Amino acid sequence: MCNVDLSQKWGDYTRVFSLMKAFSDRGHKVTIFVIRPEKKKQSISNFQENSLNVYEIHPPPFTPFSGKRGIGKYVNYLLCQFSIKKLASNIMKKNKIDYVYSYMPGIGTSYHAMKIKSKLKIKHVLDFADFHVYVRPKRLAMDSFRNADKIVVITDYLKQFLLDKGITAEKIHLIPNGVDLDMFDPSKYGDEIHELRKLFQSKNLIIFSGALQDLNMIINSANNVIAEFPDTKYIILGDHRDPNRSKDNWEKRVMEKGLSKFFVFLGKKPHEEIPKFLLCADICIDSFPDEPYYAAAHPVKLLEYGACGKPVVATRVSETEKLVKHNEHGFLATPSNPDEFSESLKTLLKSKDLQEQMGKEFSKHIHENFDWNNLAKKLEKSLN
């Protein structure tokens, strides 16, 4: 049970559909309810997504709210309850349901899962994969933590948060994000990578992929890099639904600094196209600021960088530091220190051998620890 936007195939989508697909491949029957607040003519639709059986549930047509924002969004989530209960009961009649699995606490997810747990007398598993700062009402998060029979977390940071809130360690299970190693296998891509690189007309390519949360470090450090390596381009893949963090907004920032000819903003790309862009890179980058929301994250982009065998320059925040080993897989810079970030990039740009060495080490680390198939085995074990 989740409320992911199926048109935004980034972190949330990747975790839900990749982990559940790998779990399904192990012989388990999985049905996904995607609960959306937007008003839609057809309130319930059934289809296949990533080879999984999906029901997308919208509020009934009589709702007066569009569901795009404000209180109407939450009312519409609540109005989905009748359809959710009816569908769950029908599935229960045909197939025994062992668990209701909700992705993140919230009115569109765990609230309904708790209702299903109560009605069908089954266990509730909560996937706590992000810091819940946007959950409203706030007490719903704590109610969800207490109600869940098991809680899956993606990072030690989130596990410690739960422990500090009095949640017992026995019901907390650490299952990080993973990566599709087949999709990001460099051996599957050949001449098209060389042809794609030529299109950017630059010797050195530095690539960022993902939601454009905060590019300040990247932009503020670029002058120092370009001064020494002028034949360099920054390729930015992705966008953000917040207008203040949108592709257009960051392009404007780059233009104001006189850096437009060194940056290429490609916007959102289908997930299956991301590997060929990452494989063009000499270096891949991330730039989370040092804030709790980001410190709790386990960025899928970093796993994809590693699967492609690319060295990384990122900021030294809690969980990134555990994922990327400084001086081994790349370099970690102090958040809000653009000079340190640029020096790390320049160190790698000076040596193709160092790029290759660090990329290989990072790839080995990702293959050994973050295959979705192995993470599905962990989930299976935690449920048993």
How high is the pLDDT of residue 95?
86
Residues 142 and 30 in one domain: yes
Query: Does the pTM exceed 0.75?
Result: yes
Residues 136 and 108 in one domain: yes
Residues 242 and 103 in one domain: no
Q: Residue 130: enclosing H or E segment and its boundaries? A: none
Q: Give how many domains the chain has, as a whole number.
A: 2
Q: Which domain holds residue 17?
A: 11-175
Q: Do residues 330 and 324 lie in contact, with contact meaning Cβ atoms separated by under 8 Å?
A: yes
Other CB atoms within 10 Å distance of the CB of residue 236: 25
Q: Do residues 205 and 231 lie in contact, with contact meaning Cβ atoms separated by under 8 Å?
A: no
Short-list 225, 263, 214, CA closest to 339: 225
Cα–Cα distance measured from residue 164 to residue 153, given in angstroms and rounded to the nearest whole number: 14
Q: In this structure, what CATH number is given to the domain that contains residue 232?
A: 3.40.50.2000
Q: Would you call 74 helix, strand, or coil by DSSP? A: helix
Q: Would you call 255 helix, strand, or coil by DSSP? A: helix
Final residue of a domain: which of 113, 140, 175?
175
Residues 29 and 114 in one domain: yes
Residues 136 and 201 in one domain: no
Cα–Cα distance measured from residue 128 to residue 230, given in angstroms and rounded to the nearest whole number: 43
φ and ψ at residue 127, rounded to 5 degrees:
-95, 105
The conformation of residue 59, written as its DSSP 8-state character, comes to: -
Cα first-last separation, the chain: 20
**C-alpha R_g of the chain:** 22
Q: Do residues 276 and 192 lie in contact, with contact meaning Cβ atoms separated by under 8 Å?
A: yes
Final residue of a domain: which of 123, 153, 175?
175
* Within a domain: 210: yes
φ and ψ at residue 34, rounded to 5 degrees:
-105, 110
Residues 302 and 347 in one domain: yes
Residues 304 and 202 in one domain: yes
- Token reading at 282: 């000499």
How high is the pLDDT of residue 136?
67
- Token reading at 139: 């007490």
* Within a domain: 75: yes
How high is the pLDDT of residue 8?
78
Q: Residue 163: enclosing H or E segment and its boundaries? A: helix 156-164
Question: Mean pLDDT of residues grouped by 10 in the chain (384 residues)?
Answer: 87 92 96 96 95 97 92 95 94 90 95 96 95 73 96 95 96 96 93 93 96 95 98 96 94 97 96 95 95 86 97 94 96 96 98 98 97 96 93
The conformation of residue 371, written as its DSSP 8-state character, comes to: B
Cα–Cα distance measured from residue 249 to residue 84, given in angstroms and rounded to the nearest whole number: 39
* Within a domain: 374: no
Residues 230 and 158 in one domain: no
How high is the pLDDT of residue 295?
81
